[in-house]
Structure 1
């Protein structure tokens, strides 16, 4: 989900906090170099900020964005309907396949592999339905090997990069990334840093412009993870991962310009009850509005259709903003029909 944290590892190498040394050496978080994002003086200021807001750095909630209303999370109950819609689509597709000859039912394989990256506190299983849908359309999908996105973002990004590189070498092709929420932010940063590995990205409900613009329910979850990390539980986010240099670098990475030749489609929903939908509209992306809850984006077949279309965009395709709400979509269809009759 929306926080700049997350990794999957049972190894103690990811446990720990950022170390900032006065001798000028590069600071690290969970064994990952933080880089020249903050100086020792800035780190001290960050520590003061954390005393005022022990959970999130203020820079993660820029002016102009806000947390969803406390009752907005009730919209997420529609995930039950969205999952039901997915199940119905699966049943219908199976019936159609049984009624089609084996030769005709085979979908041509797409060249570029697709890796699905889960959101905060989720794992690869959360995107299993979407993976199956894309496979049925001829895409070669891969999991990210994240079982629970609850650790340091820099560690998660390093592990994801290694996973993507291995797949790219195996398939001799650049990879496309589909990320849900936090997974989209990880994908965005990786695409900017490694365009030699990433051909395109599709984000779903990823608040890249304001990771802190999330519901208070998530804040409580983050606080619990930070407390467990402070108590010595390995593999979980530390305070620096949500309010310090680690969080700042992760936030900066997911806002870097994307090179030419990397496609970028960002899906958002005004019905999102977890993050501020406005934070999901990246100015560099082809932005599309969908009708789904935050959780439902991972399972709704209507969202999967937009993901499929985005994955088929040619390299370097123009990025544009499109609103696909029901009213405007109906108006566009009516206008098209009138033009055909004219």
Structure 2
């Protein structure tokens, strides 16, 4: 990060995003083991894709979570081109429909930009959301910060609803009223990994894994953490703790240092 803005990862790190192909292959190879993860209680799980992707990118994760007895929902809004009015209205509609089918609160998982949508849903409708899990979501970014996708974002900006981006960094906004987990990688080639960190509290946490940004939805360590978070009984949320035999897959996560965020407001 610079003194003024959150900046995109270096070009050499962006070039390493091809690792996502290997992460997808590893997920396929590990499916027999992944299907032995703790079964869920059948509650609904809504999954949002990242910027410029759609439901096809989250299909492997949704299929696996269905095998673990969750009722999973894609977002059904085509390609995620950013916060257009149609998309912003659509995510609220999807949340309400996922909730209304069984009357249960919904766990919302968002990959990259999808995680920013997920947090805004939880902020607006905590009565419908059980928890939020984000994958490489740059929740601390505000206007004039950059990522490796900034050129594409800027080319689509004219379609975006005004006022979507808060003038405040997430660190300076109130905590969500529901549990929140941020899964990130320090070798993220799309967004600055520090922008993915959230303030740790009794209902928030950061979980670090090894991998790429574009592979987080296939990353086996991330999937383990997701399944572990979803399997917790409602209203009995606890911080993630990897079993001893998997601790090498979860390096020590860094917590948000607000003093190091550009233009952070300290109190």
**What TM bracket, shorter-length normalisation?**
0.7 to 0.9
Q: Which has the larger radius of gyration?
A: 1
What is the match of residue 283 of structure 1?
199
Within the candidate set 150, 174, 177, 1:219 is matched to 150
Deviations 1:117-140, CA, capped at 9 Å, x for gaps: 111111111100111111111111
What is the match of residue 163 of structure 2?
245
Structure 1 pair 126–165 and aligned structure 2 pair: CA distance change class (3 A): same
> Do the aligned partners of 2:171 and 2:198 also contact (CA within 8 Å) in 1?
no
Larger deviation, residues 150-159 vs 305-314: 150-159
**Distance (Å, rounded) in 1 between the aligned partners of 2:150 and 2:98:** 34
What is the match of residue 139 of structure 1?
70
**Distance (Å, rounded) in 2 between the aligned partners of 1:224 and 1:64:** 20
**Distance (Å, rounded) in 1 between the aligned partners of 2:3 and 2:66:** 38
What is the match of residue 55 of structure 1?
none
Which one has the bigger helix percentage? Answer: 1
Within the candidate set 107, 130, 135, 2:61 is matched to 130
5+ long unaligned stretches in structure 2: 253-267
Structure 1 pair 214–153 and aligned structure 2 pair: CA distance change class (3 A): same
> Do the aligned partners of 1:208 and 1:255 also contact (CA within 8 Å) in 2?
no
User: CA-atom RMSD, angstroms?
Assistant: 3.3
**Distance (Å, rounded) in 1 between the aligned partners of 2:105 and 2:150:** 36
Within the candidate set 186, 190, 195, 1:274 is matched to 190
What is the match of residue 209 of structure 1?
140
Deviations 1:301-332, CA, capped at 9 Å, x for gaps: 221111111112344456658799738769xx
User: TM (normalized to structure 2)?
Assistant: 0.78
Structure 1 pair 189–254 and aligned structure 2 pair: CA distance change class (3 A): farther
5+ long unaligned stretches in structure 1: 1-60, 98-104, 230-236, 331-342
> Do the aligned partners of 1:118 and 1:180 also contact (CA within 8 Å) in 2?
yes
> Do the aligned partners of 1:110 and 1:140 also contact (CA within 8 Å) in 2?
no
Deviation at 1:278, TM superposition (A): 1.0
What is the match of residue 8 of structure 2?
67
User: TM (normalized to structure 1)?
Assistant: 0.62
**Distance (Å, rounded) in 2 between the aligned partners of 1:183 and 1:108:** 25
What is the match of residue 92 of structure 2?
161
Deviation at 1:152, TM superposition (A): 2.7
Within the candidate set 156, 175, 178, 1:257 is matched to 175
